[in-house]
């Protein structure tokens, strides 16, 4: 588990890695691409509702490798669920997956589960927000034996989305009202798309002031470091390689050097294409972070 905010800790920089073959192989892949201190996984296929049970052997191997290499892992919810859905059947199925994923994270020793706010679709913002709150409360109650945190990820602000503004996130966390089981995953691409300028030290200071006022910096447990292909406030969730998008190297250096979030674990979700691969993006981020 990450240390408290008052303790100094080495900067952790990782990336999302595959669990193909066996979940413990994710640790090997994290090592291969140069992850330091952390990485992120899906515990199952992200594009299916069903998930095969985790085997005791792979759980033991995964946990053993975490201990050996000193990783604190995070997991991400699958893509299928929508925790703001107006369709009751779809919504209840989504909650079931959230509960299942919290339990799988507990089995694996994963610190936090990142989840999206979802889309209210043909409903309205307030109803979608209320459904998100209820889903999280239900899931936490059904997993009281675990300590895995639900890390709500800010959205890019596209049509039908919830959670692009810090005010909304703060309100949702307050209404869930379980501080020891919740927190925020701050996605840089989504924040930029949602209208938060994070391209310089001066602008980062303003954004963090806003975040601290509306949510509380102590509730941020993970940063998703992704550059943006699209412009400020355009509401488009299109990730770019670190330093090659609209946020740029200057923006990421300002983020990593901000004393208010120094030591925060950073996980990349950058593209893999002819321009760069995971090894190269992790290396760029580590250089920016000075590790």
Instruction: Give the pLDDT confidence of 156-176 residue by residue, as tens digits.
Output: 988 888 999 999 999 999 999
Number of Cβ within a 10 Å radius of residue 18: 12
Q: What average pLDDT does range 182-204 have in this prediction?
A: 97
Instruction: Kindly state whether residue 8 falls inside one of the protein's structural domains.
Output: no
- Using a 10 angstrom Cβ sphere, with 0-12 exposed, 13-18 middle and 19 or more buried, the burial of residue 129 is buried
Instruction: Kindly state whether residue 228 falls inside one of the protein's structural domains.
Output: yes
Instruction: Kindly state whether residue 212 falls inside one of the protein's structural domains.
Output: yes
Instruction: Kindly state whether residue 102 falls inside one of the protein's structural domains.
Output: yes
Instruction: Give the pLDDT confidence of 97-139 residue by residue, as tens digits.
Output: 999 999 999 999 999 999 999 899 888 899 999 999 999 999 9
Q: What average pLDDT does range 274-289 have in this prediction?
A: 96
Q: What average pLDDT does range 43-48 have in this prediction?
A: 94
Per-residue pLDDT band at 95 (split at 50, 70, 90): very high
Instruction: Give the pLDDT confidence of 222-267 residue by residue, as tens digits.
Output: 999 999 999 999 999 999 999 999 999 999 999 999 999 988 999 9
Instruction: Kindly state whether residue 6 falls inside one of the protein's structural domains.
Output: no
Instruction: Kindly state whether residue 44 falls inside one of the protein's structural domains.
Output: yes
Instruction: Kindly state whether residue 32 falls inside one of the protein's structural domains.
Output: yes
Instruction: Kindly state whether residue 278 falls inside one of the protein's structural domains.
Output: yes
**φ/ψ (deg, to 5) at 228:** -120, 130
Tokens describing residue 33 = 């691409």
- Using a 10 angstrom Cβ sphere, with 0-12 exposed, 13-18 middle and 19 or more buried, the burial of residue 57 is exposed
Q: 215, 199 in Cβ contact below 8 A? A: no
Cα 191 to Cα 197: distance, rounded to the nearest angstrom:
8
| CATH number of the structural domain spanning residue 101 | 3.20.20.150
pLDDT attached to residue 1: 45
Q: What average pLDDT does range 139-155 have in this prediction?
A: 97
Q: In which domain, by residue range, is 196 found?
A: 13-289
Domain count, the chain: 1
Whole-model pTM? Answer: 0.94
Residue 220 pLDDT > 60: yes
Number of Cβ within a 10 Å radius of residue 76: 23
Cα 123 to Cα 5: distance, rounded to the nearest angstrom:
39
Instruction: Give the pLDDT confidence of 2-44 residue by residue, as tens digits.
Output: 443 433 347 899 999 999 999 999 999 999 999 999 999 999 9
């Amino acid at each position: 588990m990450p240390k408290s905010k008052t303790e100094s800790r080495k900067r952790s920089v990782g990336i999302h890695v595959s669990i193909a073959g066996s979940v413990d192989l994710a640790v090997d892949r994290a090592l291969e691409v140069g992850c330091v201190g952390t990485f992120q996984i899906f515990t199952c296929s992200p594009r299916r509702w069903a998930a095969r049970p985790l085997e005791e052997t792979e759980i033991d191997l995964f946990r053993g490798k975490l201990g050996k290499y000193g990783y604190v892992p995070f997991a991400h919810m699958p893509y299928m669920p929508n925790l703001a859905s107006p369709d009751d059947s779809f919504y209840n199925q989504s909650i079931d997956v959230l509960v299942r994923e919290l339990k799988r994270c507990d089995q694996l020793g994963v610190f936090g589960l990142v989840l999206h706010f979802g889309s209210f679709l043909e409903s309205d913002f307030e109803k979608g927000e209320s459904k998100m709150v209820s889903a999280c409360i239900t899931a936490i109650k059904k997993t009281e034996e675990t300590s895995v945190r639900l890390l709500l990820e800010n959205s890019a602000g596209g049509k039908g989305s919830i959670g692009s503004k810090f005010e909304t996130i703060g309100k949702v966390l307050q209404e869930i009202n379980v501080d020891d089981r919740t927190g925020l995953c701050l996605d840089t691409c989504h924040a930029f798309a949602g209208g938060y300028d994070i391209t310089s030290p001066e602008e980062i200071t303003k954004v963090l002031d806003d975040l601290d006022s509306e949510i509380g910096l102590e509730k941020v447990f993970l940063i998703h470091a992704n550059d943006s292909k699209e412009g400020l406030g355009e509401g488009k969730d299109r990730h770019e390689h670190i330093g090659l998008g609209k946020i740029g190297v200057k923006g990421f250096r300002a983020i990593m050097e901000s004393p208010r979030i120094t030591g925060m674990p950073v996980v990349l979700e950058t593209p893999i294409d002819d321009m760069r691969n995971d090894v190269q993006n992790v290396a760029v981020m580590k250089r920016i972070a000075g590790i």
